[in-house]
Amino acid sequence: MRSPVAGVQLFAFDLLAASGEDLRQLPLEMRKTNLARLLRGRPDGMFAAPFEAGGIGPELFGAACRMGLEGLVSKRRDRRYSGGRSQDWIKVKNRTHPAISSEF
């Protein structure tokens, strides 16, 4: 099946609830497994964002900056979801991105 809007892609990276069940207490790894199951047989252009090993972080961040992205978010795969700031996830900002430059 062709995506209704050419060139549009959706990358889902977490699943907090499904079928009325709150999944936030599950570790990220289990939530991502549930997400992948949910998106099986998905239409073209929908993807479950995979885990990337921590060792590729600098290369991945460099690629994100070259693509003009705002930055990356890294999460611990063994932790439950918690809203707000936490030591279980970090955001690494591309300091050359216009959204970041205007913060200062």
Residue that has been written with the tokens 């600098």 in this structure: 58
What is the tens place of the pLDDT at every residue in 13-57? Answer: 899 999 999 999 999 999 999 999 888 887 788 888 887 777 888
Query: What confidence tier does 99 reach under pLDDT thresholds 50, 70, 90?
Result: confident
**Dihedral class, residue 53 (left if φ above 0, else alpha if ψ from -120 to 50, else beta):** beta
| pTM of full prediction above 0.85 | no
The yes-or-no verdict on residue 84 having pLDDT over 70 is: yes
What is the tens place of the pLDDT at every residue in 52-83? Answer: 777 888 898 999 999 999 988 888 889 999 88
C-alpha to C-alpha distance for 43 and 4, rounded to whole angstroms? 10
Q: What is the pLDDT of residue 74?
A: 85
The yes-or-no verdict on residue 3 having pLDDT over 60 is: no
Q: Pull the structure tokens for residue 76.
A: 């611990």
C-alpha to C-alpha distance for 41 and 2, rounded to whole angstroms? 13
**Dihedral class, residue 39 (left if φ above 0, else alpha if ψ from -120 to 50, else beta):** alpha
